[in-house]
Amino acid sequence: KSINEESLEVDIGGETKDGRRCQLWKNLLNRRDGSFIVRYKLYETCYNFYINILYNAAHITSSPYFFKGPIQPEDCYCPKKDIKKWLEDFECNTNYNQLQIDLNKFHNVNFDAFHKNAVNRFNNSQQSSVCNYVVKSNKVYRTCYGQHIGFKIFMDAILISLARKVILPDFEIFSNLGDWPLMKNEQSKAQFPMFSWCGSKETMDIVMPTYDLTEASLQCMGRVSLDMLSVQGNIERKWTEKEEKCFWRGRDSSKERLHLITIARKHPELINASLTNFFFFRNEEHKYGPKAKHESFFKFFDYKYQLNLDGTVAAYRFPFLLIGDSVVFKQDSPYYEHFYSDLTPWVHYIPIKKDLSNLVELLKWAKRNDDKVKEISKAGRAYAENNLLPQHVFCYHATLFHEWSKKLISSVEIREGMELVEEPDSKGCHCDLSSKDEL
């Protein structure tokens, strides 16, 4: 049913400890399917918090919603004491398929048995960089090794964010700061547990949600404009209005991406594809160029068919493609993110061969089978809505670290030379850890 956005009114508010109206920002996203997303960001602790949703001046659904509070903003350090209770209250799914696969590879983990070798391997490495993290008494400590350690900011951010929300168990990890998974299966006896953002069939790394998806979850309604909610509110065309073509933009980070350009030029009626940057194959820009101008990710969904094509590793755009209302053609790949094992080909996406040899054939099939393709699109989107939103990203990390802590037999201690990851200063925070009524 069509809803007139001008007739929809959302009022969110509450009061601070000293009786002022809470400072917050609200955002209404129209999904253009008869549903809306309402989200808000708090800037200080809020009490007597309410959400009123009215249509034609009348409350709808279960509105009004009321919470005594306190309701905390993201940057308040007010952790709950019981992580099991927190996972339950946060409605976390604690039975993740990939998490179980990854952790079942390790038992009775003794960091003291491999720590020195791990440090020696990465200490002066110019190819790979890692950080050794220790969470002790809900404080985060680390030492980083390798030449390029800038991506430590992403691990710092999720660990600090979780520590604000719940008392984490003491644990220790090595975290890979690059895209390529590091622990080769064929050398398993010489390997050790490594937490990475991407996995592969040839490696045994423990996979976390990517830094891309995690930052989008932490910084939505902040410095990040592309997130799993904003995508849904910025799609302009309904299914019947979309152009029946495959749309793709990206850099030259694999030979298959170059090959896609060749295919697109032969079949412009089926594929709109261009490279946006040349780095890996600069000497072939004359053949596969010119570079296309930047295109808003939201405009991708003017087209029915999206292509998830590997770069150097898995393409981290996959969650954002799924949550849109187009259908995803996914390339066969040895690489995977933390959720791939949940997905089923021909249910959540349309599989294509790694060399793209059947892409044209399947695009023609899609045009002949629009109803089936639309169902695949809906299933992919439904999966993303139920498994890849910010709540789910927090849940996966918290569950992973909680379960990992049970695997350790070595004592978790702050190692010599580690630095404390400082908790950013927060203002306007008032903790009431005895309260059970928290949103």
Could you report the per-residue pLDDT of 308-366, keeping only the tens digit for each? 999 999 999 999 999 999 999 999 999 999 999 999 999 999 999 999 999 999 999 99
Residue 2 has pLDDT above 90, yes or no: no
The pLDDT of residue 330? 98
Instruction: Express as a percent the part of the chain with pLDDT over 90.
Output: 91
- The answer to whether the beta carbons of residues 145 and 165 sit under 8 Å apart is no
Residue 205 has pLDDT above 50, yes or no: yes
Could you report the per-residue pLDDT of 363-418, keeping only the tens digit for each? 999 999 999 999 999 999 999 999 999 999 999 999 999 999 999 999 999 999 99
The pLDDT of residue 433? 56
The pLDDT of residue 21? 96
Could you report the per-residue pLDDT of 142-195, keeping only the tens digit for each? 999 999 999 999 999 999 999 999 999 999 999 999 999 999 998 777 889 999
Residue 438 has pLDDT above 50, yes or no: no
The pLDDT of residue 124? 85
The pLDDT of residue 41? 96
The pLDDT of residue 186? 83
In the predicted model, what is the mean pLDDT of the chain?
95
The label of the residue with tokens 């702050």 reads 414
- The answer to whether the beta carbons of residues 304 and 244 sit under 8 Å apart is yes
Domains present along the chain, CATH in parentheses: 5-67 (2.60.40.10), 83-217+390-420 (no CATH), 238-386 (3.40.50.2000)
Question: What letter would DSSP give residue 71?
Answer: B
Closest of 158, 163, 200 to residue 180, by C-alpha = 200
- The answer to whether the beta carbons of residues 351 and 332 sit under 8 Å apart is yes
The pLDDT of residue 94? 82
The pLDDT of residue 425? 80
- The answer to whether the beta carbons of residues 164 and 75 sit under 8 Å apart is yes
Closest of 398, 392, 391 to residue 169, by C-alpha = 398
- Using CA atoms, how far apart are residues 379 and 326, in angstroms rounded to an integer? 11
Positive or negative torsion for Cα 316, 388, 352, 308: negative
Pairing of strands 58-59, 47-55: antiparallel
Could you report the per-residue pLDDT of 249-259, keeping only the tens digit for each? 999 999 999 99
Residue 222 has pLDDT above 60, yes or no: yes
- Using CA atoms, how far apart are residues 222 and 48, in angstroms rounded to an integer? 25
Residue 305 has pLDDT above 60, yes or no: yes
Residue 437 has pLDDT above 60, yes or no: no
Rounded to two decimals, the pTM is 0.95
What distance separates the 2 farthest-apart alpha carbons in the chain? Answer: 67
The pLDDT of residue 417? 96
The pLDDT of residue 436? 47
Instruction: Express as a percent the part of the chain with pLDDT over 70.
Output: 98
The pLDDT of residue 434? 54
